[in-house]
Structure 1
Amino acid sequence: MFVLIFYVLSPIPMAIARHYQDSVDSTNALVEVAIFITTGIVVSAFGLPIILAHSPQHEPLIQWGACALILTGNSIVFFTILGYFYLFCGDGFSYDGW
């Protein structure tokens, strides 16, 4: 359930950067920091289940099968978020093509 926090947090830095800038395509410090923070959130979402499955205790906190399912779900969710930002948040998007 802790991974759900990362799903909510991952689009927030780019949404803030898009709010304070007209175009996200141009390169400036705000976009670079937003990409860096988003990357840290995504890497943390993939790292948390691995850390929980590889805990140093006698019995791991989660099983490796559950870890694999979480990593697969992470891939699907984050590619969906990426697709949304790529498709709907571009500067040249209009609903005329739909």
Structure 2
Amino acid sequence: MSTVKALVGLSFSGAIGLTFLLLGCAPPQYGVYWPMFVMVFYILSPIPGMISKRLSDSSDASHNPCKEMAYFITTGIVVSAFGLPIVLARNTTIAWGACAFVITGNVVVFLTIFGFFAVFGNSDELGWEQC
């Protein structure tokens, strides 16, 4: 039952994050949909971690180059997701208010992604790693 509660909570927080992203695009005073390209980073961010979990052996947990490289690539993806709206706002492609909404949405969505892997990443009974 706690798994269902966690999944519902993560779904709700993901919906809130995407709502903030849409609030940065949809209102008439902003009116451009360039910030929606941040969704590419949402899709790309968990991929290095999932690949490193598949490729790495868990014999030496203190030093694992595959996991460290995955953390590095994931950090680059997350920083790029925060940098894109700032660059677009600096270039006056989007308004600064839209930039604030997108960055708020980024915080919520990336915390949701982190929460998903914190809750479901270590459990073997769910079997999502086995796919």
Scaled to the shorter chain, the TM-score interval is 0.7 to 0.9
Query: Which whole-Å deviations, capped at 9, do the CAs of 1:10-47 have from their partners, x for residues lacking one?
Result: 00000000111354x92310000000000000000000
C-alpha separation between the residues in 1 aligned to 2:111 and 2:54?
A: 22
CA contact (8 A) 2:85 2:103 kept: yes
Q: TM-score, normalised by structure 2?
A: 0.63
CA contact (8 A) 1:87 1:93 kept: no
Q: Secondary structure of the residue that 1:62 maps to in structure 2?
A: coil
Q: How many correspondences in the alignment?
A: 89
Residue equivalent to 1:69: 101
Consecutive unaligned residues of structure 1, counting only runs of 5 or more, are: none
Identity level (%): 56
Query: Which whole-Å deviations, capped at 9, do the CAs of 1:23-73 have from their partners, x for residues lacking one?
Result: 4x9231000000000000000000000000001xxxx10000000000000
Alignment partner of 1:20 is 2:55: yes
Consecutive unaligned residues of structure 2, counting only runs of 5 or more, are: 1-35, 127-131
- Matched to 1:79, the amino acid is L
CA contact (8 A) 2:56 2:64 kept: no
Q: Secondary structure of the residue that 2:93 maps to in structure 1?
A: coil
CA contact (8 A) 2:46 2:74 kept: yes
C-alpha separation between the residues in 2 aligned to 1:69 and 1:47?
A: 13
Higher RCO, Cα 8 Å, sep 6+: 2
C-alpha separation between the residues in 2 aligned to 1:21 and 1:80?
A: 25
Residue equivalent to 2:129: none
C-alpha separation between the residues in 2 aligned to 1:87 and 1:93?
A: 11
